[in-house]
Amino acid sequence: MPDLLQGKPGRFTLERCGECRHVFQNPRLTSEGLDFYYRDFYDGRGGEGAGTVFGRLGAAYRGRAEMLLPHADPASWLDVGTGHGHFCNAARDVWPRTRFDGLDMGDGVREAERRGWVETGYLGQFPEFASKLAGQYEVVSMYHYLEHTREPLAELDAAATVLAPGGFLAIELPDPQSRMARLLGPFWLPWFQPQHQHLMPAANLREALADRGFTVVAEEHGPAHQGNDFFGAVALAATRLAPDPDRPWGPGPTPRARLLAHAVRGAALPCFAAAAVLDALRTVAARRTDGGNAYRMLARKDTP
């Protein structure tokens, strides 16, 4: 599929392992390629829009934080892939005495530190900090982070290093086995090409955690569902038909391109309205059946 998010050039292929059902981008983007496609999405030109979206996820942030309530009362928590720190800021309502630090490869983590949404912000790749932070945290969280990484198993190794014995690793991921993934095909938003490098079925993650000395203590599917399947599909289809004519990496804003974009956006309005209704119904069904487009897993690092 092409880049349906920003309309940047390039085509990308996702393959599924016939044995374990792991989905992966093949060939993967280089680190420089990822920088190109991340640029203007979370920061820069697209930073304001991304911040608005993340700022509206309060219920999801609370659900993630509350998953730990029956299991621990942590003093220290590292949120990996924290972005601008929205989760940490919201999670303080659940854990007011916990110290929240954040790590991300984007400049947003510095802004999170300036805002006071994280105590300390680490800028860079998680495995690079693993030895420096060894054994320092009671909780490490990775919410919609692992799918962005080039080597997800190395990220799990880093988490095992950073956690103190008996500490907890909290993970949330898109579920590549979701029925919507098959129904919507390339217009299923969680494929999120080209940013998502790996999409791991829950059984594979459980096995990978066990291999690293973790015991899964809780797993949620319905509560992790994000109600955007149909709305996201309409948005991606509209972008495919009429990319933003003002995007700086495009061929230029011609009168024809502006007219087409205006026409497609107008025609998409009733589709967005219908999609919102379908997503609401889908969310109710996902909550009741414990199914959906994502899952959460909480694992404890076993004491040697």
φ and ψ at residue 12, rounded to 5 degrees: -135, 145
With a CB cutoff of 8 Å and minimum separation 6, the contacts of 235 are: 189, 272
This prediction has a pTM of 0.92
CB atoms within 10 A of CB 233: 23
How long, in residues, is the chain?
Answer: 304
On whether the CB atoms of residues 91 and 102 are closer than 8 A, the answer is no
pLDDT tens, residue order, the chain (304 aa): 999 988 898 999 999 999 999 999 999 999 888 888 888 887 666 555 555 555 566 789 999 999 999 999 999 999 999 999 999 999 999 999 999 999 998 888 999 999 999 999 999 999 999 999 999 999 999 999 999 999 999 999 999 999 999 999 999 999 999 999 999 999 999 999 999 999 999 999 999 999 999 999 999 999 999 999 999 999 999 999 998 888 888 888 889 889 999 999 999 999 999 999 999 999 999 999 988 999 999 999 998 7
Strand order in the sheet with 23-25: 14-16, 23-25, 198-199
Rounded to the nearest 10°, the torsion over CA 120, 123, 127, 128 is -100
Half-sphere exposure of 79 (CA within 13 A, CB side): 30
Helix (H) / strand (E) element for 34: namely helix 31-38
